[in-house]
Amino acid sequence: MADKPSFFISTPIYYVNAAPHLGTAYCTVMTDVMARYKRSMGYDVKFVTGLDEHGEKVQLAAHEHDMTPQQWCDSLAPDFHKAWEELNIAYDDFIRTTEPRQIQAVTHLWERMKESGYIYKGSYDGWYCVHEETFYTETQVAHSDEENHTEGQHLCPECHRPLDRVEEESWFFKLSAFQDKLLALYDERPDFVMPDFRMREVRSFVEGGLKDVSVSRTSFDWGIPVPFDEGHVTYVWFDALLNYATSVGFGNPDMADEFARRWPAQYHVVGKDIIRFHCVIWPAMLMAIGEAVPEHVFAHGFLMVRNEETGQGEKMSKSRGNAIAPSDVIQMLGVDGFRYYFMTDCTPGEDGAISYSRMAQVYNADLANSWGNLVSRSLSMCAKYFDDKTPQLDSWEEATNPLRDIAEKIVGSYCQAMDRMAYTDAREAVMELIHAANRYIEETEPWSLAKDEANTDKLASVMCDLLESIRISAHLLCPFMPETSAEVLRRLSLEDEATTEDLLASCVWGGLAQGVSVTKGDALFPRLVLE
Ligand code: ME8
């Protein structure tokens, strides 16, 4: 373990105000795909996800259900575990901010902040949105009122819910002292925020000037106590952001080695709604206490539901009646189909317009007709012509393998795409091989070759070309569709390969096991019939 390079990646920790939904599932699958890919590239991956359990929003949800906040969190946490299990999310750690390790870490953070001189006591008088758990300045609120034509009642610039007026004693974090340091960070590491256009957004926000942020609350008590000031609890974001560091041992003397080895994180994957917290406040907090900042924050777009009449993407909401439940999609596409659709049809980084008809289209085109069909045709022909075995070739190297060039070319472009979470590009690379292999079947007509024994060698090499293309495609698709890729490799008697830690070696042309049993099996992706 220790000699493998560490790769630490996280999802946001989700609020426990509702059950997991398509948006949180989207982000979690996106992170899981990267984690699986990196494991296959030989990294010692730590993938952490979890729950953000403090704050007013959670407290309110608990009260609405006549429970204490802790009871409420405990009652919902299993739903998240279950949802991630169902989606085959292979996380290594699940952190809940009410756990003792987080309380220990946040307490330590306060002490370090106090030593640093970057916090001071004052009082906050301004606007707060409980849904967003965010403070807003008078200017932000005025702008929003103008845009939304509201009078009297001030609405949240983000979610348009009514704002609360808050007046309370509070500790402040001197974010304003970090403007130059943050701009220097963005200059030095332009890929700190990905994709590029998000980096530009963050930069211009910081260039506009930074205000100190209130980081403790006194008007309610569902939070981690400030160790040196009774009556103050930690502002939920000051607590939540630290979870990443906590999960690798921040503030725990017994985990000092682990922290040194794992920190900083390579990737925080977050939605575009929370980039200011992750790309401005979080690095400033780390700078304040002298810890390294993460390598990348990848901000993904939002899933919007495509209105079939207007063709426009609309925000998903229960009141609009357009919310799509993850379980409905899983029922329609299967788990691997779900993962494949969301990861390859919506460009990570941009908003994605989703619809049931598009799901069916992508599933049928890519999975049923292209990938599934290639596997089922090739394996059935192989089973039929070679007695349920993979062919044996005397000279695999000399065998005609026009698919080899494509396979060799796409592995490089696939890896480049995966490394920057450009999953739609990675899909294109793999599909190039799959489409070429399907065309190859039409061109070589194995069924005609099979009619004449004189063609047995030729038929064997054609089959090996196809099976080898399938083997390599299964590897490359594995982060997206782990179950079906493992099944394909099993059908080729290569089950051990599914957990490869050396993807590049596994994708070298010629790795097919010869003369071993091949299983035809059922259709991997039965075609969807649309009503
Ligand atoms: O913000 N499309 O938690 P949260 C895509 N607890 N992704 C979506 C989405 C949509 N329609 N809706 C939500 C919080 N998401 C804080 C995070 S981290 C230290 C604390 C995803 O439960 C997206 O990734 O509101 C977004 O950033 C996240 O859910 C917000 O989850």
Same domain, 52 and 198: yes
Query: Which runs of consecutive H residues, i.e. helices, occur in 18-68?
Result: 22-40, 56-64
Cα 190 to middle of ligand 1, angstroms: 24
Alpha carbon nearest to ligand 1 atom 8, residue:
23
Cα 49 to middle of ligand 1, angstroms: 12
Cα 302 to middle of ligand 1, angstroms: 9
Q: Give the mutation target among 26, 34, 130 for probing the ligand 1 site: most ligand atoms within 8 A of CB.
A: 26
Cα 15 to middle of ligand 1, angstroms: 8
253: its two tokens: 């003397």
Same domain, 293 and 392: no
Number of domains composing the chain:
2
Q: With residue 126 as reference, give the H or E element that holds it.
A: strand 119-129
Q: Residue 319 domain-assigned?
A: no
Same domain, 121 and 198: yes
Q: Give the mutation target among 9, 16, 24 for probing the ligand 1 site: most ligand atoms within 8 A of CB.
A: 24
Q: Residue 520 domain-assigned?
A: no
User: Using CA atoms, how far apart are residues 483 and 480, in angstroms rounded to an integer?
Assistant: 9
> Any residues with CB less than 8 A from the CB of 303 and at least 6 apart, and which?
22, 23, 26, 316, 342, 346, 351, 352, 354
Those residues of the chain that have pLDDT short of 50 are none
User: Using CA atoms, how far apart are residues 256 and 52, in angstroms rounded to an integer?
Assistant: 24
Q: Residue 214 domain-assigned?
A: yes
Same domain, 197 and 293: yes
Alpha carbon nearest to ligand 1 atom 26, residue:
271
Same domain, 159 and 270: yes
Sheet holding 303-306, edge to edge: 313-315, 303-306, 352-354
Q: Which of 531, 136, 71 is nearest to 332 (CA)?
A: 531
Q: What is the pLDDT of residue 2?
A: 53
3-class DSSP assignment, residue 12: strand
Kindly report the CATH number assigned to the domain that includes residue 497: 1.10.730.10
Same domain, 53 and 148: yes
User: Using CA atoms, how far apart are residues 70 and 284, in angstroms rounded to an integer?
Assistant: 30
Q: What is the pLDDT of residue 308?
A: 75
- ω into residue 264 within 30 of 0, thus cis? yes
Residue 42 Rama label (left phi>0; alpha psi -120 to 50; beta): left
Same domain, 19 and 86: yes
Cα 254 to middle of ligand 1, angstroms: 32
- What pTM does this model have? 0.96
DSSP string, 417-431: HHHTT-HHHHHHHHH
Same domain, 221 and 365: no
Query: Which runs of consecutive H residues, i.e. helices, occur in 131-254?
Result: 138-148, 179-188, 196-207, 236-240, 243-246
> Any residues with CB less than 8 A from the CB of 14 and at least 6 apart, and which?
20, 24, 50, 51, 52, 80
pLDDT tens-digit profile of 260-316?
999 999 999 999 999 999 999 999 999 999 999 999 999 999 999 888 777 778 877
Q: Which of 271, 429, 428, 432 is nearest to 348 (CA)?
A: 271
Q: What is the DSSP letter of 175?
A: G
Q: Residue 419 domain-assigned?
A: yes
Please count the other Cβ atoms lying within 10 Å of the Cβ belonging to residue 221: 12
Q: What is the pLDDT of residue 400?
A: 61
> Any residues with CB less than 8 A from the CB of 329 and at least 6 apart, and which?
22, 338, 341, 359
Q: Residue 313 domain-assigned?
A: no
Torsion of CA 233, 239, 240, 244, to 10 degrees: -160
389: its two tokens: 């075995």
Cα 461 to middle of ligand 1, angstroms: 50
Same domain, 39 and 176: yes
Atom of ligand 1 nearest to the CA of 303: 2
Domain range for 448 = 336-506
Q: Residue 180 domain-assigned?
A: yes
Same domain, 254 and 114: yes
User: Using CA atoms, how far apart are residues 101 and 348, in angstroms rounded to an integer?
Assistant: 32
> Any residues with CB less than 8 A from the CB of 50 and at least 6 apart, and which?
13, 14, 93, 94, 95, 96, 97, 243, 247
Give the domain-ending residue among 281, 300, 319: 300
Q: What is the pLDDT of residue 439?
A: 97
Q: Can you give the C-alpha Rg of the chain in angstroms?
A: 26
Find out whether 193 and 279 touch, Cβ atoms under 8 Å. yes
Give the domain-ending residue among 242, 273, 300: 300
The residues lining ligand 1, judged by C-beta closer than 6 Å to any ligand atom, are 12-15, 23-24, 26-27, 52, 240-241, 243, 270-271, 273-274, 302-303, 316
| Dihedral sign, Cα of residue 495, residue 496, residue 498, residue 503 | negative
3-class DSSP assignment, residue 438: helix
CA–CA distances in Å: residue 531 to residues 101, 249, 342: 52, 53, 22
Same domain, 208 and 348: no
User: Using CA atoms, how far apart are residues 98 and 137, in angstroms rounded to an integer?
Assistant: 29
Q: Give the mutation target among 282, 302, 347 for probing the ligand 1 site: most ligand atoms within 8 A of CB.
A: 302
Q: Give the mutation target among 274, 320, 343 for probing the ligand 1 site: most ligand atoms within 8 A of CB.
A: 274
Burial level of 180, CB count in 10 A (0-12/13-18/19+)? exposed
Q: With residue 469 as reference, give the H or E element that holds it.
A: helix 456-477
Cα 323 to middle of ligand 1, angstroms: 15
Q: What is the DSSP letter of 155?
A: B
Q: Give the mutation target among 10, 14, 94 for probing the ligand 1 site: most ligand atoms within 8 A of CB.
A: 14
Cα 28 to middle of ligand 1, angstroms: 10
DSSP bridge partners of 225: 233
Q: Residue 527 domain-assigned?
A: no
Kindly report the CATH number assigned to the domain that includes residue 129: 3.40.50.620
Same domain, 424 and 341: yes
Q: Residue 132 domain-assigned?
A: yes
Atom of ligand 1 nearest to the CA of 241: 19
Alpha carbon nearest to ligand 1 atom 13, residue:
23
Alpha carbon nearest to ligand 1 atom 10, residue:
23
